[in-house]
Amino acid sequence: MSEEPVGGDLSRLRQLNASAVLRELRGDQPLTLTELSKRTGLSRASTEDVARDLLGRGWLAEVAPASGSVGRPARRYRFNAGAGRLLGVDIGGHKALALVTDLDGKVLNQTRITVDPEAGRRERLAAMDRCVAKALAGAGVEAGQIWSTGVATTGLVDGSGKVMLSDSLPEWSGVDLAAHVRRLVPGPVRVENDCKLAALAETWHGVARYAKDVVFLLAGLRTGAGLIIDGKLHRGFANWSGEIGALPAAGWLRAPEHLTSWLEGTAASPSAPVEFESVFIAARAGDQSAVQAIRDYVQDLAVGASALVLTLDPQLVVIGGGFSRSADVMVEPLRRELDRWCLRTPEIRVSAFADEGVALGAVRLALDEVEATIRTGLRP
Amino acid sequence: MSEEPVGGDLSRLRQLNASAVLRELRGDQPLTLTELSKRTGLSRASTEDVARDLLGRGWLAEVAPASGSVGRPARRYRFNAGAGRLLGVDIGGHKALALVTDLDGKVLNQTRITVDPEAGRRERLAAMDRCVAKALAGAGVEAGQIWSTGVATTGLVDGSGKVMLSDSLPEWSGVDLAAHVRRLVPGPVRVENDCKLAALAETWHGVARYAKDVVFLLAGLRTGAGLIIDGKLHRGFANWSGEIGALPAAGWLRAPEHLTSWLEGTAASPSAPVEFESVFIAARAGDQSAVQAIRDYVQDLAVGASALVLTLDPQLVVIGGGFSRSADVMVEPLRRELDRWCLRTPEIRVSAFADEGVALGAVRLALDEVEATIRTGLRP
DNA sequence: TCACGTTATCCAGGACTCCTGGATAACTAT
DNA sequence: ATAGTTATCCAGGAGTCCTGGATAACGTGA
């Protein structure tokens, strides 16, 4: 139903076999032709032909042969991640973050610029531009070398890359991010919601690598979710998926207040997200009021999370977002709450990313675009 | 990620092109080679070759040429749905229902047997056997002619076709339905939950034909849901998807009580599901207490439904199950309730099936199995 | 050092599938 | 009848894959 493998020309067959070879080589260790041939099911001779082809086009690179085995040493190939460059941008409330990576997602440069949360559209876009320029310069990459770009933003994004609605950022609804970024870099530009991209990053290089169905919870000043279903990012009909927070019964809107009100009880102001650490630090030190605040928070979080879990029955729940650095104290209470509601409580893991997960997801989005073009014509 | 189109031999290319041709011919009207060639993108000559091949194997049938056009009349082909037979069985609390269909899902025989809700495992299985035998006889089909079989049951089903858990049917947990049915018919047998299959039937021949993301609500004495995501049935990691009713906040357990208590207020006993009609009839006639009972019911139903909708953002919500015959009086209240909670209320449709939807979904499950074998070798 | 086994690479030859383009067939319209 | 139109049939050629054999490169043991 979804993506019917379509037939066609003989060249189409070559394309399929070439992507099969590339897929095998996305694993980390280089492979010999014989190994490749076994994995793809192609004959050795054809594998050789395909590999020669891909090598000529720059998709593969040769690696020094392994020594120490009997027989003639085999040439070894690896995916040439350096063939192209990807750009991932996360434009949020307090910061702009840009990643320049290779085709494996290896970060060549990570640049962060702080942005005034009150900044208007013009100012925020300008900050993003500076951030991108700095990241490109830092990686020693011309804008023209960027193959594909992904952009993450809060709020709801339509298919063409416009921000439809954003309550948290001033003057942000309606901005055509894709068009704006297309002026900076060539190649395709895709825009997506930050929660969704954070989820995507987890299945790519994060803690959800081997799961097909994943619920990602963004736990921070905002609460949100991103869903991976059958290995793919689920968007929904109008890209509104995962917005369970809209249900008052879920309690996601009020959930963070348990933490902010605890902070207000202490001296620190909760304006900067860093300050939030203190609740978790206090809880870890045994402060009962902090423990209780976190418990209340998790209790509210868990109702919505349970709704997501009961709906989808995922293999895995990943906690990310601003609070995830301190999420070790959240996991157990969350598990207990989920046990209360869910028929089968999934595994719970904490994101290993700091705050670059969203931008990495944007890179993955950019890579999706590249891989789609692989399937329909191998360009370089 | 999910189903990577894999390459291979030249024969693999032929397979792909053959399935492309078959896919085009699953549309209702027969096509000429020229039309097929245009739709598949293949050259005319190759299309002819593929069609000749498929015709020889029995997958296609020739239709009398259309007259009245200029030029030489073209031969026309259609999918030969009569090449094989499928069996779909729905084994529920009150009845067993078996469908024998062709490869298009056209029903050749529909047989229903009533079963005592209190019947034990042995008795229920025996009733199912009788039902299947009668359906086969009624369709004039030998068991050996059945290519593939799907079975629907309440409760949760594991991957191998065992019922893991069923609260509603006595002695039903643990029964190995697949193994049992495999003694009746050759060919693959797959078992799945009834809500899920009802959802599948709607996307196949029901009111959800053109939607990729669908929430199906089973509204009856039991309340349940089946999810279609990206055109495919979503099962979840342990096949527990859609069980939002487990969340007390969703209110699905108590929802039908609003209707049963109204019925208890009247003379009729709510044991037989037919009696339920009376609430809806009364409501349609303007009985305010009945209208209120339905409103209360819908209000409880809508909370869980909203959770599903907010999670997935489907294009469409389909109402099926025992109450769906009378669902016209439910649609408007449901829409109003969903409007209260959802960011975007999807289209709401009522299933057009009576109670054979579940069995038809079982047939679709059987057909999935057949189509999978098409992609890896065209047998007959 | 050299033959030998092992493994990889290279090189036809053959089979299959698709494409192109032209010749032939069948039907309608004038 | 003849012209026009569309479908079918029939090579010939190109691309891709497979098989199997010849050659190359390396380690091992005599």
Residue A48's CATH number: 1.10.10.10
User: Which of A84-98, A264-278, B99-113 comes out lowest in average pLDDT?
Assistant: A264-278
Half-sphere exposure of A193 (CA within 13 A, CB side): 29
Residues B72 and B118 in one domain: no
- pLDDT greater than 60 at residue B143: yes
Mean pLDDT of the region B29-33: 92
Yes or no, beta carbons of B312 and A250 under 8 Å apart: no
Residues A88 and A55 in one domain: no
Residue B104 within a domain = yes
Instruction: For A321-365, write each residue's pLDDT tens digit.
Output: 888 888 888 899 999 999 998 989 999 999 999 889 999 999 999
User: Which of A217-226, B62-71, B222-231 comes out lowest in average pLDDT?
Assistant: B62-71
Last residue of a domain, one of A29, A51, A79: A79
User: Which of B178-187, B319-328, B333-342 comes out lowest in average pLDDT?
Assistant: B319-328
To the nearest whole percent, how much of chain A has pLDDT over 70?
Answer: 94
Mean pLDDT of the region B69-96: 92
Residues B100 and B176 in one domain: yes
Question: What does the block give as tokens for A198?
Answer: 């954070």
Verify if strand C has an atom below 7 Å from the CB of A9: yes
We report the CATH number of the domain holding residue B190 as 3.30.420.40
pLDDT of res. B363: 98
pLDDT of res. B275: 64
Q: What is the extent of the structural domain holding B32?
A: 8-79
For residue B22, count other CB atoms closer than 10 A to its CB.
Answer: 18
Residues B93 and B30 in one domain: no
Q: Which of A7-21, A350-364, B59-73, B276-290 has the highest mean pLDDT?
A: A350-364
CA angle, residues A283, A288, A289, in degrees to nearest 5: 90
Going along chain B, which residue ranges are E strands? Answer: 31-32, 60-63, 76-79, 85-91, 95-102, 107-114, 146-153, 156-157, 163-165, 189-193, 214-219, 223-229, 232-233, 316-320, 347-350
| pLDDT confidence tier of residue A380, bands split at 50, 70 and 90 | very low
Distance A33 CA to D30 C1' (A): 33
Residues A278 and A236 in one domain: yes
Distance A7 CA to C17 C1' (A): 12
Residue A2 within a domain = no
Residues in chain B with CB shorter than 8 Å from the CB of A12 are 13, 16
- Residue B349, helix vs strand vs coil: strand
Instruction: For A237-253, write each residue's pLDDT tens digit.
Output: 999 999 998 888 777 88
Q: Which residue would you say has higher pLDDT here, A290 or B140?
A: B140
The chain A residue lying nearest B230, using CA atoms, is: A2
Last residue of a domain, one of B64, B79, B94: B79
Q: Which of A22-26, A159-163, A285-289 has the highest mean pLDDT?
A: A22-26
Residue A3 within a domain = no
- Strand D: which of residues 81-140 in chain A lie with Cβ below 7 A? none
| Cα gap B342→A246, rounded to integer Å | 7
Order of strands, edge to edge, in the sheet holding A107-114? A107-114, A95-101, A85-91, A146-153, A189-193
Residues A55 and A174 in one domain: no
Distance A41 CA to C18 C1' (A): 22
Residue B3 within a domain = no
pTM of the model: 0.91
Mean pLDDT of chain A: 89
Residues B212 and B348 in one domain: yes
Residues in chain A with CB shorter than 8 Å from the CB of B230 are 1-2, 229-230, 232, 234
In strand D, the nucleotides that come within 7 Å of a protein beta carbon are: 4-11, 14-20, 24-28
CA dihedral (B12, B13, B16, B22) positive or negative: negative
Question: What does the block give as tokens for B251?
Answer: 């209110």
Residues B338 and B245 in one domain: yes
To the nearest whole percent, how much of chain B has pLDDT over 70?
Answer: 94
pLDDT of res. B67: 75
Distance B71 CA to D6 C1' (A): 4
- pLDDT greater than 60 at residue B359: yes
Mean pLDDT of the region B224-241: 95
Residues B212 and B320 in one domain: yes
- pLDDT greater than 60 at residue A3: no
User: Which of B18-32, B135-149, B188-202 comes out lowest in average pLDDT?
Assistant: B18-32
Instruction: For B266-290, write each residue's pLDDT tens digit.
Output: 655 545 555 677 888 888 888 888 8
Mean pLDDT of the region A287-300: 89
Residues A179 and A153 in one domain: yes
pLDDT of res. B9: 84
pLDDT of res. B320: 92
Q: How many structural domains are present in chain B?
A: 3
What values do phi and psi take at B16, rounded to 5?
Answer: -60, -45
- pLDDT greater than 90 at residue A1: no
Residues B46 and B133 in one domain: no
Residue A203 within a domain = no
The chain B residue lying nearest A5, using CA atoms, is: B5
Verify if strand D has an atom below 7 Å from the CB of B64: no
- pLDDT greater than 70 at residue A58: yes
Question: What does the block give as tokens for A139?
Answer: 């990686």
Those residues whose C-beta lies under 8 Å from the C-beta of residue B373, and which sit 6 or more positions away, are: B379
| Cα gap B45→B377, rounded to integer Å | 22
Residue A367 within a domain = yes
pLDDT of res. A2: 36
Residues A95 and A218 in one domain: no
Last residue of a domain, one of A79, A96, A114: A79
**Residue B44 · residue B34 · CB < 8 Å:** yes
Residue B338 within a domain = yes
Residue B1 within a domain = no
Question: Which of A23, A246, A312 shows the shortest C-beta gap to B343?
Answer: A246
Yes or no, beta carbons of A13 and B12 under 8 Å apart: yes
